[in-house]
Structure 1
Amino acid sequence: MTQLSRRGVILSLGALPLVAACGNGIGSKGPETIDARVDATLAQLFSQYPNTTQLRDKSAGMLVMPLVTEAGLGLGGAYGKGALRVGGVTVDFYSTTKASAGLQIGVQQYAHVLFFMTEDALLNFRRAPGWAAGADMEYAIPEGGGSLAAETTTSMAPVIAVVFAQAGLRAGVTLEGVKYTRIIP
């Protein structure tokens, strides 16, 4: 069991301004702004990676995070806002947060979409007061200009995550340890 020292708490709090300073452009302009960004993100995803339309068509719902900003210098964090769509309609708004520690430096931004492939997975997500991405999620990370593998679009994983539109100077993106919380924009 680890104990937090005063220095550790101070350093953790010191990382928060790094993430806050990297505004993700969504701000607090309400649901219309988030929905507009979600629409643009989905349009980019489906045009750049056409096989993802198969995931959309098979899914019970999609959580779309148009822009997540992640920063780290020893300690790090990430933040973004998005919307849960069921049947093509926004039903809730969510924020995503992540904290990390270790050998890391840099800042990056990316978009991601979680495809809930079963009604149970979607129901569990919606009922949770704060849902953490974990081992039951399969990643489908499209490569530049390519398409997703056939096994991804036919997968029976309850949740499939597609991470794309990466920009910045930080290597790698994983959604493990990311927490999603329902918000009122």
Structure 2
Amino acid sequence: MSQISRRNLTLSLGALPLVAACANGIGSDGPQRIDARVDATLAQLFTNFPGTRSLESKSTGMLVMPLVTEAGLGLGGAYGRGALRVGGVTVDYYSTTKASAGIQIGAQQYAHVLFFMTEDALLNFRRSPGWAAGANVLYATPETGATLGAETTTSMAPVIAVVFGQSGLRVGATLEGVKYTRIIP
């Protein structure tokens, strides 16, 4: 029988949190949990901002991020997980990440939905190994989201982002510089 040295024991115990943090999804309820949160988020969106239903009906797909947590003190970051729905069915799961630097302090949480208004926009998103939100995204505030019509916005932008449900001590929520990556929950 081999002896366990203090050094090996320390290294093993030190690596334990890193291994425990790796959620590989085997035997987990990750997909069910994400889908339940997506359902609740969409219900809240459509109840509070009924005009967004027209976006849903005109879109070719929606990426729903039920909860994104963002924090910063000089350096900042954000993370969340969600699902891509096409025809009302979940087809993939995604994470969103964001890093920032500058004069910032605080934390906030929010939800957002990306409405893909064209087949090309949805196809480009799905084929990308890591898609970043940028200038091709039109932002609809919740106030205008209630009356936003897909007929007028489809020609303006292939992707429409609705950010809502903000809470916390940071001002504003933007998806500029946010990266979306396909995951296996």
Question: Does the 8 Å contact 1:60/1:117 carry over to 2?
Answer: yes
Q: Corresponding residue for 1:68?
A: 68
Q: Corresponding residue for 1:115?
A: 115
Moved over 6 A (4+): none
Q: Corresponding residue for 2:183?
A: 183
SS of the residue corresponding to residue 143 of structure 2 reads coil
Gaps of 5+ in 2: 1-27
Question: Does the 8 Å contact 1:51/1:153 carry over to 2?
Answer: no
Which is higher, the Rg of structure 1 or of structure 2? Answer: 2
Q: Corresponding residue for 1:106?
A: 106
| Deviation for aligned residue 1:153 | 5.5
SS of the residue corresponding to residue 108 of structure 2 reads strand
SS of the residue corresponding to residue 64 of structure 2 reads strand
The reply on whether 1:135 has 2:135 as its aligned counterpart is yes
Q: Relative to structure 1, is the Cα distance of residues 153 and 142 closer, same or farther in structure 2, using a 3 angstrom cutoff?
A: farther
Per-residue CA shift, 1:106-159, capped at 9, x if unaligned?
A: 000000000000000000000000000000000001139x72344x66212100
RMSD: 1.5
Question: Does the 8 Å contact 1:70/1:77 carry over to 2?
Answer: yes
The reply on whether 1:50 has 2:38 as its aligned counterpart is no
| Deviation for aligned residue 1:29 | 3.5
Q: Corresponding residue for 2:81?
A: 81
| Partner Cα separation in structure 1 for residue 41 and residue 123 of structure 2 | 24
Q: Identity, % of aligned pairs?
A: 78
The alignment of Structure 1 onto Structure 2 pairs a total of residues equal to: 156
Per-residue CA shift, 1:31-72, capped at 9, x if unaligned?
A: 000000000000000010000000000000000000000000
Normalising by the residue count of structure 1, what TM-score does the alignment of the two structures yield?
A: 0.81
Give the letter aligned to residue 180 of structure 2: Y
SS of the residue corresponding to residue 180 of structure 1 reads strand
Q: Corresponding residue for 2:41?
A: 41
| Partner Cα separation in structure 1 for residue 77 and residue 50 of structure 2 | 31
